[in-house]
Amino acid sequence: MTQSRDEWPQLDHAEEQFVKRLAARYAPQPLTTARRVALDEALWARLQRQQRQARLTPALATVAVAMLITCLTWSGLFMPPAPDGGPGVNMSALSSTEPWEYELLYARELTSTAERDDGAILPDDYLGIAEVFLDK
Amino acid sequence: MALELEQRFHLFVASHRERARRLAWRLVGGDDAAAEDVIQEAFIKAYRALGQFREEASLATWFYRIVVRQAHNYCRWRTVRETWSGLWHGELPHAAAQASGDPLLRRRIAKALAQLSHSQKEAFVLVHMEGFSVREVSALMGKPEGTVKSHLHRALQALRSELADLAEDTGRNAP
């Protein structure tokens, strides 16, 4: 930090005196030896603490990424695979249902009770039983 | 290599500790603890950047820029904190219990400096109190020399008006 005199602003005598007084009266006390040692120790302790934190950061980041990956894949581990290999609910139980069973089970949702006549879709065995028990 | 770096850092701290502390103390309004906190943070940043600077002069310029910026950040943070906590009644914090001289006068000077803009205060403290040249301050603040001179002129006018009694003082209360 080399300086040459012409780099300072030009002040008249009164301004120069004012600035000098200001600088003299607004200054901290010089550091005592004990205070200087305490300041240096605090600086080194802070520096070492930050260096430790800097060393730990990559390890913590790795753990965080591993946890994130585990969380994202955890739910998928217990979900049954879809027939096409993609994620989703297994529909195999529903697809094994016979057409007449499906219609019997779900047709009520599509039509009103009054319009419904199950006789037409029931197999012969069921019709025989129905005739005995239901006086048809 | 690490040992050499540490030795260089020790020397750097030893040669700049006092000036950096004085500068930070003046910029943060005469608060000992804040000044020490500011220079510790600046020294830590200097330690990390030590390998990048081969010349002591360029490292020193960079270091004092960090000190000024840290002090500026501290003042801004303090203003926000005091605004929100509602504890600010025009009193400056702690006002340097360990400083020499008249504490009331010191508090008045701190208050007058705090009324300047940040750039004016930084330019005034760096040039007129710490003895940096205008060119150095221009590099430190990242502003043209003409702007620094303008800040200095306005700061001096404001301070002379605010501290008129000190401006007329002929040295009666010299420390």
pLDDT digits (tens, 9 = 90+) for A84-131: 655 555 555 555 666 666 666 666 555 555 556 666 777 777 777 777
Tell if the CB–CB gap between A21 and B169 is shorter than 8 Å: yes
Q: Is the confidence at residue B171, as pLDDT, over 60?
A: no
Tell if the CB–CB gap between B13 and A40 is shorter than 8 Å: yes
- Tens digit of each residue's pLDDT (9 = 90 or more) over A26-64: 999 888 999 999 999 999 999 889 888 888 888 888 888
Tell if the CB–CB gap between B44 and A43 is shorter than 8 Å: yes
Tell if the CB–CB gap between B129 and A43 is shorter than 8 Å: no
* A4, A24, A46 member nearest B40 (Cβ): A46
In 3D space, the residue among B71, B45, B47 whose CA is nearest the CA of residue B126 turns out to be B71
Mean pLDDT is lowest, of A60-74, A112-126, B34-48, for A112-126
* pLDDT value of position B79: 81
Is B43 in CB contact (< 8 Å) with chain A? yes
CA angle B169, B129, B14 (to 5 degrees): 140
CA distance B43 to B24: 12
Residue B157: closest C-alpha in chain A? A15
Tell if the CB–CB gap between A1 and B98 is shorter than 8 Å: no
CA distance A46 to A55: 14
- Tens digit of each residue's pLDDT (9 = 90 or more) over B70-119: 999 998 888 888 777 765 555 555 444 455 568 888 899 999 999 999 99
Supply the DSSP string of A11-22, one letter for each residue: --HHHHHHHHHH
Q: Please name the residues in contact with A1: beta carbons below 8 A apart, sequence gap of 6 or more.
A: B57, B60, B61, B132, B136
* pLDDT value of position B88: 55
* pLDDT value of position B53: 81
- Tens digit of each residue's pLDDT (9 = 90 or more) over B116-159: 999 999 999 999 999 999 999 999 999 999 999 999 999 999 99
* pLDDT value of position B1: 61
The CA distance from B44 to the nearest CA of chain A, in Å, is: 6
Q: Is the confidence at residue B174, as pLDDT, over 50?
A: no
Strands (E), chain B: none
Please give the DSSP secondary-structure letter assigned to residue B172.
Answer: T
Q: Could you tell me which residue, B60 or A91, shows the higher pLDDT?
A: B60
Instruction: Kindly provide the ipTM of the predicted complex, given to two decimals.
Output: 0.81
CA distance A108 to A105: 7
Residue B42: closest C-alpha in chain A? A43
Query: In chain A, how long is the greatest CA-to-CA distance?
Result: 128
